[in-house]
Amino acid sequence: MKQIVIPYTPREIQKFLHQKCDMNRFNVVIVHRRGGKTVFAINHLIKAALTNKNPYPRYAFISPYRLQGKSTAWDYLKQFSAAIPGTKFNESELRVDFSVNNSRIQIIGAENSSAIRGQYFDGIIVDETQNISPDLFDTILRPCLSDRRGFAIFIGTPMGRNWFFDLHEKAKSQKDWFTCVFKASQTKIIPKEELEAAKLAMSPESYDQEFECSFQAGISGSYFGSIIEELEQENRIQDFEIDENLPVETWWDLGMNDSTVIIFAQRRSNGEVRIVDCYENSSEGLEHYFNVIDDKPYTYSKHIAPHDIRVREIGTNKSRWETAREMGMEFEIAPKLSIEDGIEQVRRLLPKCYFHKSNCKKLLEALKSYCKRWDEKNNCFRNKPLHNWASHFCDSFRYGAITEPIERTNWKKPIEVNTSYIV
């Protein structure tokens, strides 16, 4: 058999990771920015694919978004696979097929869970795990690995104590799990002068998170993290008794191929807002979500949807607003406001809120995780939110925040003035 040489010379840290990930089925790899995670991941998949003796081996590199995976990993996959005879590249599907053993590696975006569900994999690598929905592994990915006893490697950098931190902690004690942390100060991969420049340009929290892999640092660039912490300290996040006599509003973020989120809120006369429930799903029609809210034990006052619900869909030439009306659901359209102004409205509303802790766990995690996009080229945060799993929850909350009720005067009613005092 002819020997195949892949043009890849691993660094010491990468050699260590290959060895450990070969020994354990589930691996949590925490490495600082620009630490060579993607190159390691792609070559680990290639070797696994070529050496697998099972029929039709299947592997996946999963990014938070397909476009992100294409920009970060696709060129690497083509570069390191090009030396393998008979390799076929499918640009439209971001897929590499190896004729030597009919194995396949594909780059997939986590935002389209329907593209993953039902497939089988001999191994997966989840990239930027901190930016992926917390329930993706348990509900979708783990079943895909079951019948082939496939492996999983989770790679990323910290973003507060979210589900990536939970995975890290789990791996410390679970059999067949491995975890490791590589800080920039330890690996020496990034030149010292570059790290010093980054320290000057970044906040201490940002630097500790991105380069020193600190889970303790506050989430860099978080819009609402400090407010949620204050709510926790004020005991505004608890399992309170829900008032059945108080009507409920629903705030919707309607996804097409990705998540739809519904938030259930009660407004009290004193201005207080109680967030009593939350629901998320994907790849379901409107009827599914209408059934969900019908099954809830609430009396509804109104349902708020984003303005794009009026956009007509290709094929039906009908908007989801029209479809909803035909099904007996009347939506109130949230005002068209910039994301930046909407975020400011959320900041104003949150201090007035109580959250039902058990019903709103994922929503609370999303509000903590929602943050500004990091610009690696300029070592700074952009004034734009990072689009990840948390965005759908925060968009839904934003539509509710910008639709706060305003007291209106009834100008049709005559103005009554007491004139008895006039001489």
Strand partners, 30: 156, 181
* Percentage of the chain lying above the pLDDT 90 cut: 63
Asked if residue 112 and residue 82 are part of one domain, the reply reads yes
Indicate the pairing of strand 300-305 with strand 151-156.
Answer: unpaired
The CATH number of the domain holding residue 326 is 3.30.420.280
Indicate the pairing of strand 26-31 with strand 177-182.
Answer: parallel
The CATH number of the domain holding residue 185 is 3.40.50.300
Q: Are 217 and 268 in contact (CB under 8 A)?
A: no
Q: Is residue 416 part of a domain?
A: no
Which residues make Cβ contacts (< 8 Å) with residue 158, sequence separation at least 6?
A: 30, 130, 164, 165, 209, 213, 214, 215, 217
Residue 137: strand, helix, or coil: helix
Q: First and final CA of the chain: distance in angstroms?
A: 114
The 3-state secondary structure of 271-322, one letter per residue: CCEEEEEEEEEECCCHHHHHHHHHHCCCCEEEEEECHHHHCEECCCCEEHHH
Domain boundary among the residues 210, 234, 252 is at 210
pLDDT at res. 193 = 93
Q: Is residue 18 part of a domain?
A: yes
Q: Is residue 408 part of a domain?
A: no
Euclidean distance between CA atoms 394 and 385, whole angstroms: 10
Q: Is 8 exposed, middle or buried (CB count within 10 Å of its CB: 0-12, 13-18, 19+)?
A: middle
What is the sign of the dihedral through the CA atoms of 353, 356, 357 and 360?
negative
Asked if residue 196 and residue 229 are part of one domain, the reply reads no
Asked if residue 330 and residue 298 are part of one domain, the reply reads yes
Asked if residue 230 and residue 195 are part of one domain, the reply reads no
Asked if residue 200 and residue 310 are part of one domain, the reply reads no
Asked if residue 229 and residue 193 are part of one domain, the reply reads no
Q: Which of 111, 398, 132, 135 is nearest to 256 (CA)?
A: 111
Q: Is residue 4 part of a domain?
A: no
Q: Which of 284, 282, 279, 283 is nearest to 303 (CA)?
A: 279
Domain boundary among the residues 161, 185, 210 is at 210
31: left (phi over 0), alpha (psi -120 to 50) or beta: beta
Q: Are 355 and 363 in contact (CB under 8 A)?
A: yes
Asked if residue 232 and residue 203 are part of one domain, the reply reads no
pTM for the whole thing?
Answer: 0.68
List per-block mean pLDDT (blocks of 10 residues) for the chain, which spans 423 residues. Answer: 80 95 96 93 96 95 93 95 94 95 95 83 95 86 94 92 88 93 93 91 84 78 86 94 94 84 95 96 89 95 92 76 91 92 94 96 91 68 80 95 63 51 46
DSSP class of residue 224?
Answer: S
Euclidean distance between CA atoms 212 and 203, whole angstroms: 13
User: Which residues span the domain enclosing 181?
Assistant: 12-210
Q: Is residue 34 part of a domain?
A: yes
pLDDT at res. 380 = 62
Asked if residue 235 and residue 180 are part of one domain, the reply reads no
Q: Is residue 149 part of a domain?
A: yes
Q: Are 390 and 366 in contact (CB under 8 A)?
A: yes
Asked if residue 293 and residue 397 are part of one domain, the reply reads yes
Which residues make Cβ contacts (< 8 Å) with residue 297, sequence separation at least 6?
A: 244
Q: Is residue 272 part of a domain?
A: yes
The tokens 């303790």 sit on which residue?
216
Domain boundary among the residues 210, 237, 270 is at 210
Euclidean distance between CA atoms 76 and 72, whole angstroms: 8
Sheet of strand 259-267: strand arrangement: 237-238, 353-356, 273-282, 259-267, 248-253, 300-305, 332-333
Q: Is residue 215 part of a domain?
A: no
Asked if residue 295 and residue 328 are part of one domain, the reply reads yes
Asked if residue 341 and residue 277 are part of one domain, the reply reads yes
Asked if residue 386 and residue 312 are part of one domain, the reply reads yes
Number of neighbouring beta carbons within 10 Å of residue 235: 9
Indicate the pairing of strand 259-267 with strand 103-109.
Answer: unpaired
Which residues make Cβ contacts (< 8 Å) with residue 120, sequence separation at least 6?
A: 58, 144, 145, 147, 148, 150
In the chain, how many domains are there?
2
Euclidean distance between CA atoms 245 and 89, whole angstroms: 60
Indicate the pairing of strand 380-385 with strand 372-375.
Answer: antiparallel
pLDDT at res. 406 = 45
Euclidean distance between CA atoms 333 and 312, whole angstroms: 15
pLDDT at res. 212 = 92
